Amino acid sequence: MATTAKKSGRKPTAAKKAGKPIVEEPSYLCPYCNTMKKRSEYYVSTDPLVKTGVTSMCKECAKKIARNYDVKTGRYGDCTKQSIIEALERLDKPYFEGLFNSSYVESNDPSNKSLHSDTWEAYIKNICSLPQYRTLRWHDGDIASTYMAKAEAAVIPVEQQLQNSKKSEDQEVYETYQKNKASVIRLLGYDPFASEAENDKPLLYSQLVGYLDMGGDNEDMMRNSSAITIVRGFLQQSKIDDMLAKSMKNIGANNRAGEIKSLLDSKQKISSTISQLAEQSCLSLKHNKNQSKGENTWTGKIKKIKELNLREGEVNGFDIATCKGMQQVMDLSNASILKQLALDESEYSDMIAEQRKLVTKLTTEKNSYQEITRILLRENLDLRDTLSDNDLLDEEDLTDLEDLFSSFGDVVEDDEEEGEEDEPSES
């Protein structure tokens, strides 16, 4: 009977099938919900380095992000473009603006028989099923590509950076050179370095400007000639120093010792000549005690005024800040700022609260400084009386207290007007 069953070609019984092992579907841990889920509950990963072949986020977690799931209420929210982009980035899936628009139309078109519940389902279906998108990742999408293009465009090669830096430095040196040259020609009436090499002129003009500016009177031809000679001497010393540096590198070759000695002697002679000319022409500070460098500049003049103790020459910042003209400018500026801000009620509330804190702080500080000022004023008046009784006080150097208090006149008048308005009118 058994032989007959085999020859008849009948299929094996169910009992024989039961002996064959069944392969279970693999499961993976989703790090976002911390749950083991089957392979079918994940999207297929397009990253060739991912050995599991699935995305790191499960379908359910991606859906919650794309549809703005609220954990507290347990309900889904609106499906927005930003939420879809966030979900796609975590899934390593690309975002395309055109595909998003078509998916939106697909999910909201009543005539579509396969109508999806939302834009997310339509988009993820298209991105995973259409052959042109199956192998693409997040960096292949519109957002990542645009970002990389902007980043690459913003990156400047190192060679270009160095070139731009050199151009900027050269431009700055050239502008300074032109400025010093114009100053020298203006002060002397001619160009003393017209025949000099072009590369040496920036150094020559920059040094000569300092000597011409120091004296103030540039009609002394002997002094000007000495200054020009001294500047040329410094240039010669600089060139000798460069030659010495080159010679010192190969001091043992071709008997460089004699050459170095000759250069040192030449430098010593030039230095001696410079010192003599500076002493004879009173160009150095050592031999010119009555003048200092920069005394004819604006800073030098201001310093001299301060040394003379001319009180009226000092800048009175208080009077400038409290004048009516500055107050009008400040009012116009504040009005313009408020108009541009266009604040709403909540922002006004926050601003008023912050201003309240500031007003309280400043009021406390004002009261403290007011008391300090009162004490100092009382002591100052006592000191005035004492100095006046002993004929030690110069009345011209004193400030009239009424003039000093005049800046608060408007404040006092405003307070008086407010007080009058608060009084009830007599019937």
234 and 271 in a common domain: yes
Q: What is the pLDDT of residue 61?
A: 93
269 and 339 in a common domain: no
Angle, helix 59-66 to helix 119-129, in steps of 10 degrees? 130
Contact yes or no for 94/47 (Cβ under 8 A): no
164 and 150 in a common domain: no
Cα–Cα distance list, 207 to 135, 188, 190, 239, 288 (Å): 69, 14, 16, 16, 18
Distance CA 229, CA 298 (A): 28
Predicted model pTM:
0.34
Q: What is the pLDDT of residue 153?
A: 61
Q: Is 27 helix (H, G, I), strand (E, B) or coil?
A: strand
186 and 271 in a common domain: yes
Dihedral over Cα of 126, 129, 131, 136: its sign: positive
Residue 250 belongs to some domain of the structure: yes
Which residues of the chain register pLDDT less than 50?
A: 1-8, 14-17, 215, 289-290, 426-427
Phi, psi of 35 (to 5 degrees): -135, 140
Q: Which two tokens stand for residue 375?
A: 């004490």
Tell me 157's DSSP state. -
Of the three residues 239, 262, 287, the one that is the final residue of a domain is 287
135 and 195 in a common domain: no
Residue 255 belongs to some domain of the structure: yes
182 and 66 in a common domain: no
Residue 418 belongs to some domain of the structure: no
Residue 426 belongs to some domain of the structure: no
Residue 13 belongs to some domain of the structure: no
246 and 342 in a common domain: no
Q: Which residues contact 64 (CB under 8 A, 6 or more apart)?
A: 76
Amino acid present at 250: N
Residue 185 belongs to some domain of the structure: yes
225 and 206 in a common domain: yes
126 and 31 in a common domain: yes
Residue 423 belongs to some domain of the structure: no
281 and 167 in a common domain: yes
Considering its fold, how many domains does the chain have in total? 3
Of the three residues 108, 127, 154, the one that is the final residue of a domain is 154
369 and 251 in a common domain: no
Residue 46 belongs to some domain of the structure: yes
140 and 67 in a common domain: yes
Its domain, for residue 40, covers 27-154
Of the three residues 237, 265, 287, the one that is the final residue of a domain is 287
Tell me 75's DSSP state. B
Q: What is the pLDDT of residue 251?
A: 65
Q: What is the pLDDT of residue 58?
A: 92
